[in-house]
Amino acid sequence: MNPGVSIVADDTRSWGLETPGPGLLLHVPAAGRWTRRPALHLDATRDYRIRLRGGSQTLLWTRIDAYWDHALFLRGTALFPQVLPPLSAPDVRAVEAASGTGAWWEAWDWRVARALVEAPLPVLHAGHWCLRPVRAIPAQKAERHPVSPMEWGFGQPPMPPHSLSAVTSFHTAWKEDWWETVPEQRPGAVLALRVPSSPEDGRVKSWRKRARDGTLPPVLLLYVDILAKWLVLDGHDRLHAALLEGVEPPLLGLWPYIDPPRLGNSVREEGALFSAEFQLRAGATPQTVERVNRMLVHSFTPEPKGTVSRAWPIPGGRETWREEIITRRRRGWLPPLEDLDWAWFT
C-alpha cells in the first residue's frame, strides 16, 4: 500500500445518513502523487461551470444557475475509465463473513480502501476522506432543494442516496429544475457514469445470481456536493443486477470531508459544567445522569464534519469551456434542448 496514507476506523457520531455498518477515515498526505490532480476529478471556471474529467477526457459538463434554481448537464463521448480492478469470484469468496454483518462491512471497507490507495487511476487527493456504508432512501423523502452556497455555504454533510434506477438510463444532455424538481432529481440522486450493460451480459447474469443469494459485493458511490449527486465509481453491473432482481444493493459511500473547528465558548462550556454539577447534586438518578451526559456532549462536541469536493481551474477558462461545448454539440446527436438553454450553457 502507498506509504503515508493513514486509514483508521470512523468514530464520527453522525453523518446525517443511515449507515448500516462501520466505516473508515482515510487521511491522505499533501505529498508525492497526492498533490496532483487525480485521474477522476472536477475542473471549474467562473459562474459555476464545472466539468468531470476521467484521465484527459471530459465525462460530464455542468453549469449551475447563479441562484441555484436550475442546472444543465452534457455528457462527453469518452468511456468511463476503470478506477478499480474488476472483482473476481475468488475476491468475493475471500470475504467469508455473513453478508450485511459488521464483519462483512469491515472486510469490504478495508478491501476497497486499499484498492483506492493503490489504484493506478487515482480518485483520492490530499485531504481527508470517509468510506462508509450508506443506505438509499425513497426519492420522495429526499431534500427538495440543493444546499445553495449563498444560503448555507459549503461543507454540509452528504445527502442520502436515492433513485438507484438511474443506472439503467443514460441521458446525454438534460436540464434539471432545482426549484420545482422532480423527486428523481433531488439532492442525493445517483448518476451512472457509463451506458448500462445488457441484461444478457455475462457479468450482469453472474451478479444477478449473487443478488439472489444475498452475496452481492457493495457498489462504490462518490458524493459530489456541488452537483448534489452520487456518482457510481465501481459496480455499475452489480447495481443493475440488483435492480433486475428487485433487491436492495449494498452501497459504500466515499466522500472528501472537512472537520470545521468549533470555536471555544467559555461561557457556554462553564455554564454546562455548572448546570451538570447542580443537577447531579440534586440526585444522580440514571435519568439525570443520561440528561447531563447529553448536555455535556452537545456543549463540548465540535461542529459536524461536512463534505467539500475539490475542483481545479480549467486551463483557458470560459473560452475553453465554450469551445468544448460547441465542439461536443457538433460531434453527435443530442436530445433537444431549447436554443436559450444552449446559449446560456456556452
If one compares 150 and 322, the residue with the highest pLDDT of the two is 322
Confidence of residue 265 (pLDDT cuts 50, 70, 90): low
The answer, yes or no, to whether residue 1 has pLDDT greater than 50, is no
Q: Model confidence over 154-202: pLDDT tens digits?
A: 778 899 999 999 888 889 999 999 877 788 999 999 999 999 999 999 9
Report the C-alpha gap between 297 and 69 in whole angstroms.
38
Report the C-alpha gap between 211 and 100 in whole angstroms.
13
**Mean pLDDT score, 312-320:** 95
**Mean pLDDT score, 30-47:** 94
Strand 229-234's sheet: what is its strand order?
6-9, 24-28, 127-134, 251-257, 219-224, 229-234, 189-191
**Mean pLDDT score, 89-109:** 95
Taken as a whole, the chain contains a residue count of 346
Asked if residues 25 and 128 have their Cβ atoms less than 8 Å apart, the reply is yes
Contacts of 346 by beta carbon, 8 Å cutoff, 6+ apart: 321, 322, 325, 326
Residue 12: what pLDDT?
87
The answer, yes or no, to whether residue 68 has pLDDT greater than 80, is yes
Q: Which range scores top for mean pLDDT: 69-73, 272-276, 298-302? A: 69-73
Question: C-alpha distances in angstroms, 123 versus 52, 191, 339?
Answer: 12, 17, 35
Confidence of residue 300 (pLDDT cuts 50, 70, 90): low
Across 104-140, b (16+ Cβ under 10 Å) vs e yields: bbbebbebbbebbbebeebbbbbbbbbbbbbebbebe
CA dihedral for 199, 99, 138, 80, sign (positive or negative): negative
- CB-side neighbour CA atoms (13 Å) of 252: 29
What letter represents residue 87's amino acid?
A: L
- In the three-class reduction of DSSP (H, G, I as helix; E, B as strand; rest coil), residue 80 is classed as coil
- In the three-class reduction of DSSP (H, G, I as helix; E, B as strand; rest coil), residue 344 is classed as helix
**Mean pLDDT score, 44-66:** 94
The three cell numbers locating residue 281: 447534586
If one compares 129 and 280, the residue with the highest pLDDT of the two is 129
**Mean pLDDT score, 18-39:** 94
Picking from 43-47, 65-69, 127-131, which range would have the lowest pLDDT averaged per residue?
Answer: 65-69
The three cell numbers locating residue 67: 441562484
Q: At 59, which helix (H) or strand (E)?
A: strand 57-64
Q: Model confidence over 112-171: pLDDT tens digits?
A: 999 999 999 999 999 999 999 999 999 999 987 776 665 556 778 899 999 999 888 889
Confidence of residue 294 (pLDDT cuts 50, 70, 90): low
Residue 200: what pLDDT?
95
Residue 110: what pLDDT?
97
If one compares 55 and 97, the residue with the highest pLDDT of the two is 97
Residue 16: what pLDDT?
84
- In the three-class reduction of DSSP (H, G, I as helix; E, B as strand; rest coil), residue 266 is classed as helix
Q: Which of 208, 310, 207, 307 is nearest to 260 (CA)?
A: 307
The answer, yes or no, to whether residue 54 has pLDDT greater than 60, is yes
Contacts of 242 by beta carbon, 8 Å cutoff, 6+ apart: 164, 207, 211, 216, 219, 248, 249
Residue 150: what pLDDT?
56
What letter represents residue 41's amino acid?
A: H
The three cell numbers locating residue 157: 454533510
Q: Model confidence over 215-262: pLDDT tens digits?
A: 999 999 999 999 999 999 999 999 999 999 999 999 999 999 987 665
**Mean pLDDT score, 267-275:** 72
Bridging pattern class, strands 6-9 and 70-75: unpaired
Residue 286: what pLDDT?
79
Bridging pattern class, strands 219-224 and 251-257: parallel
| pTM given for the model | 0.87
How far from the centroid of its chain's Cα atoms is residue 152's Cα?
Answer: 19
If one compares 271 and 116, the residue with the highest pLDDT of the two is 116
The three cell numbers locating residue 14: 453522525
**Mean pLDDT score, 96-115:** 96
Asked if residues 16 and 100 have their Cβ atoms less than 8 Å apart, the reply is no
